[in-house]
A and B are shown apart, each in its own frame.
Chain A
Amino acid sequence: MTKVTFIENNGNRIEAIAEVGQSLMQVAVNSGVSGISAECGGACACGTCHCYVVGNGLVTLPTPDGDEADMIEFVIDPKANSRLSCQIAITPDLDGLIVHIPASQT
């Protein structure tokens, strides 16, 4: 069981129980996180699943691969902790992950 918390730009917190093997984007969409519209469905082709990973998650997560890093360059307001949630696979060691939704995606 992996617990994930999404924090929307207005401060609203959405806590979700993620299944191993799902993508973080799928967890967000299923939990009604409206800032993650994930328009391309998870193909690393749109950038609308952009999020900021905070805290321990940053250390635990593997670094973005080439396609993800390229797409992050194109999103609005990219930061050092920017990730595309569709490229993050849920694993048990991500338990407690905290994710902020960018202001531009409300």
Chain B
Amino acid sequence: MPLTSSDQLSFDPLSQAFAADPYPTYAALRERAHPYYYEDVDTWMLTKMADVENVALDKTMLRGNDDVLTAAERKAQQRKMNWHDMPHHERFVQFNLLESEGDVHDRLRKLVFREFTPGMILKQRGAIQAFVDKLLAELVGQNEIDFVEDFASHIPGHIIGRMLGVPDEDCPQLRVWSENVVRFFNVGCDDNDKRIAEQATEDFYLYLLDLLKLRETAPHDDLLSRMLAQKQDGLMTEDELIATSMLILMAGHGSTIDVLGSGMHSLLKFPDQRIKLRDDPSLIKTAVQEMFRYEAPLPYFHRFATQDCTVGGQYFTAGTRFGLLYGAANRDPARFDAPDTFDVTRSPNRHVAFGGGTHFCLGNHLARLDMDVIFTTLNERFTDVQLVDARPEYKSGLSVRGPKSLQIAWKEV
């Protein structure tokens, strides 16, 4: 691809500097007249809100490039990405509703959509509160904790597990499986990661099969039982049921931990905002919305063009791969006043942390409810919260954003 002379920009998303603060890089990308070509992954990076929204909403832009590849090219691509030789991973992780399009996607999404509507999600409120209270009871004697490891990391596995119908005592195992399955997507993944990811997928699969057998004889009020009934009615296959269960866990696990950590960090970096929220707890909804905008925990997804197109004022051919930098679009001054300011009262706040278009995040109401319950509870119970380490280290790479750990000191009211 020809590069223009203005491509002097140093774009190194694996660097320490990018992990510490990607926003100056995003701003430099956004200020360019045209999209930036990132050679390492053969992808055109979109950072302006208008471009990101247009591509996310464009039905000719797909997550997979199957339409533009032959079967042989597809195999070669799988090999190049080292996505082959892992039968369970191929069957349940590389295929799911997020990775499908058109009728298959719409059918699978509609089958579980009801479970994620606000009314259904609200039923989890009591369970989330109870679990958070229990965690806090264990931590309350400690003046200093790692907010990520000691607190946030226990929550999503437990809540998503409950929704699925996994017994409480098995939920800690979900965290291990989920983290191992996604190891394969890590920057610098090696053969060992690949083996661990495949093993975790198989273990999780066998576990779900056992649980489904129990539900067959005695259905519960849970997602697994309802999907099982759909399978029995011929609406989804067993593989689709397993893949959907795994996706729900994978999509909602790390992202929730990361945004709990970054949300807490934002409140501590902007103490005036923390006090505002503490003095007026009714601001929780706009505050949570702002936490997602300010540090989008899943800042990067991609789409393939299936037709020749013009994006960001430039012409591209079918097969072009675009990067949707949701985290960069969320700081676009064309959409947001003072985009680098964290403002718990910001409204309207039309960000894209949950994506847009047909793949718009299914779990957004659950993620928001977790945040709502947790930050409301913390604000009620802890007045004095301080950062122990002024510059907590963030995860590196383009695809995730969240602190590796967040040491805080706190005192109960």
List chain A positions with a Cβ less than 8 A from chain B. 29, 32, 34, 37-47, 67, 70, 74-76, 104
Contact between chains at A41 and B117 (CB < 8 Å): no
Contact between chains at B57 and A41 (CB < 8 Å): yes
Which B residues between 68 and 124 are near A, CB-CB below 8 angstroms? 106, 109-110, 113-114, 117-119
Is B354 an interface residue, CB under 8 A from the partner? yes
Known contacts A39-B354, A43-B356, A75-B117; 10 further A-B pairs (Cβ under 8 A): A29-B350, A37-B350, A40-B357, A41-B356, A41-B360, A43-B360, A45-B358, A45-B359, A74-B117, A76-B117
Instruction: List the 6 shortest-distance A-B pairs measured between CB atoms, nearest first.
Output: A40-B360, A41-B356, A45-B360, A43-B357, A74-B117, A43-B358
Contact between chains at A40 and B356 (CB < 8 Å): yes
State the main secondary structure of chain A at its contact with B: loop
Give, as a whole number of angstroms, the nearest-CB distance from A65 to chain B. Answer: 13
Contact between chains at B347 and A45 (CB < 8 Å): no
Contact between chains at A76 and B350 (CB < 8 Å): no
- Asked, given contacts A39-B354, A39-B364, A45-B360, whether A76 binds B119 with beta carbons under 8 Å apart, the answer is yes
Which B residues between 220 and 246 are near A, CB-CB below 8 angstroms? none
A29 closest partner in B (C-beta): B350
Contact between chains at A70 and B110 (CB < 8 Å): yes
A38 closest partner in B (C-beta): B350
Residues of A within 8 A of B347 (CB): 34
Which B residues between 357 and 373 are near A, CB-CB below 8 angstroms? 357-360, 364
Residues of B within 8 A of A37 (CB): 348, 350
Residues of A within 8 A of B114 (CB): 74
Contact between chains at A43 and B348 (CB < 8 Å): no
Contact between chains at A41 and B119 (CB < 8 Å): no
Give, as a whole number of angstroms, the nearest-CB distance from B216 to chain A. Answer: 27
Tell me the complex Cα distance, A76–B347, Å: 22
Residues of B within 8 A of A41 (CB): 53, 56-57, 352, 356-357, 360
- Asked, given contacts A29-B350, A74-B113, whether A42 binds B119 with beta carbons under 8 Å apart, the answer is no
Residues of A within 8 A of B57 (CB): 41-43
Residues of B within 8 A of A67 (CB): 106
